[in-house]
Amino acid sequence: MKRFKALTTGHTVLMGRKTFESLPKGALPNRRNVVLTRSRKKFEGTEVFASMETALKHCEADEEVFVIGGSSVYNEALPLANRLYLTEVDDVPEKADTYFPEYDKKDWHETLRESFPADADNERPYSFVTLERIR
């Protein structure tokens, strides 16, 4: 979460309606919050769009747009993405029901990998990984 905050603060975060509703305190502070929904609902502190295409059109001037989930939005945005910021966690949760999409490693070049052991805040080893799309 510290890395997520450091990367996204000052930028645009784009998310699905369910991910927005899972945020404990609503819109993320100090970021432009963009939410996708096909309903006509409004959410405080956000801009709402009914399609990925429209949302991205309104973000064209933004330096970097961070797609922050959930699964359906990751699926739709992956073919458009130039960079992936992943956190790999050495775990196989038994009850997972929402997944990041499969991606083809040969399309991506790893530019960063920082690995950390379990610590007081993280009960399992983890790695920060950045991948750039190979053009």
Going from the C-alpha of 1 to that of each of 4, 68, 69, 87, 97, the distances in angstroms are 5, 12, 14, 10, 20
Closest CA to 81 of 133, 15, 28, 8: 133
Residues in CB range of 38: below 8 A, 6 or more apart: 50
Binding to ligand NAP, residues 82-121 (CB under 6 A): 98
Binding to ligand NAP, residues 33-72 (CB under 6 A): 36-39, 50-52, 68-72
C-beta closer to ligand NAP: residue 37 or 130 = 37
Q: What's the closest the beta carbon of residue 129 comes to ligand NAP, in angstroms?
A: 13
Torsion sign over Cα 117, 121, 127, 130: negative
Q: What's the closest the beta carbon of residue 101 comes to ligand NAP, in angstroms?
A: 10
Calpha distance 94→121 (Å, rounded): 21
Among the residue ranges 31-39, 59-67, 78-86, 107-115, the one whose residues contact ligand NAP (CB under 6 A): 31-39
Q: What's the closest the beta carbon of residue 10 comes to ligand NAP, in angstroms?
A: 19
Count of residues that interact with ligand NAP, criterion CB under 6 A: 21
Binding site for ligand NAP (CB under 6 A): 15-19, 22, 36-39, 50-52, 68-73, 76, 98
